[in-house]
Amino acid sequence: MEDHLTTIADSARALYDRGLYRAALEKYDTLVQLQFHESSLYFNLGNCYTRLGELGEAKVNFERAILYDPINQSARHNLDWVNLRISERILQPQEELLHWISETMRSILQPNYWTILSGCFIILSVFLLILRRTKMVAFTWRWPFTTTSLAMILLIIAQISIPESQRAIVTERNSIGYSEPSNQSNQVVVLNEGGSGILIKEENNWSLIKFGNGRIAWFYKEEWENILP
């Protein structure tokens, strides 16, 4: 399986090198269809979209690359590159404190490694408890309790560090915001490609988006793409 995936990635890179960005994009897309979420894969997709001039889609993919690996410096560079070339200047929305903690934890270790670490402490706790029960009757319970607590804390960190995001980005040339989920209602704002906001809720074909300045508006759902795939 791994060989097959590597072959697809290699052929995509070869197409990219030959300037066939659309074909390379399709190859990388097949990997995404296989539910393979890897920072470098989204980074490469972002590069393809950038070369094709679809900066909204490029921004979505660079944001995804950073979401899965917050220390991916190349993704941050390319995202800055794209942000300088999109005309949207509406304030970028800030996500919650939990999201910041999650990103910090993820930049230290990936969620899987946090889980493995927690597993190690669980094994240690089990070992101590068995020892206390069988061989060392006088062994105090405080040691297994401490290791068990550490294991639980690590498990919580592993859970928090799983990538989550409510942000969405405009992928069309522009997107008109309305006061109600109907194009007959008042036009509130027009966002250009690459504009972003926090997705609050969805209703039929409409998404309620909140901006960095606290304003909200309804947009056509299809003109936006969530950062979390």
* Residue 39 near residue 69, CB atoms below 8 Å: yes
Nearer to another protein, 82 or 202 (CB): 82
Q: Is 74 in the site for another protein (CB under 8 A)?
A: yes
Minimum Å distance from CB 26 to another protein?
Answer: 15
Buried b (16+ CB within 10 A) or exposed e, 98-121: ebeebbebbeebbbeebbebbeeb
Minimum Å distance from CB 164 to another protein?
Answer: 16
Minimum Å distance from CB 190 to another protein?
Answer: 5
Q: Is 200 in the site for another protein (CB under 8 A)?
A: no
- Can you tell me which of 22, 30, 89, 156 binds another protein, judged by CB under 8 A? 89
State residue 14 phi and psi, 5-degree precision. -65, -40
| Residues 94, 109: Cα–Cα separation, whole Å | 23
Give the C-alpha distances (Å, rounded to integers) separating 23 from 18, 42, 48, 58, 209. 10, 16, 9, 16, 33
Q: Which helix (H) or strand (E) holds 44?
A: helix 39-51
- Can you tell me which of 21, 25, 27, 41 binds another protein, judged by CB under 8 A? 41
Q: Is 210 in the site for another protein (CB under 8 A)?
A: no
Please list the residues that pair with 170 across neighbouring strands: 224
- Can you tell me which of 40, 92, 146, 166 binds another protein, judged by CB under 8 A? 40
Q: Is 78 in the site for another protein (CB under 8 A)?
A: yes
Minimum Å distance from CB 30 to another protein?
Answer: 12
DSSP reduced 3-state for 212: coil
Which of 152, 154, 148 minimizes the C-alpha distance to 109? 154
Q: Is 179 in the site for another protein (CB under 8 A)?
A: no
* Residue 224 near residue 193, CB atoms below 8 Å: no
- Can you tell me which of 107, 146, 148, 166 binds another protein, judged by CB under 8 A? 148
Q: Which residues bind another protein (CB under 8 A)?
A: 1-2, 5-6, 9, 13, 16, 31, 36, 38-41, 43-44, 47, 50, 72, 74, 77-78, 80-82, 84, 87, 89-91, 112, 115-116, 118-119, 122-123, 125-126, 129-130, 132-134, 137-138, 141, 144, 148, 151, 155, 174, 176, 187, 189-190, 192, 211-213, 215
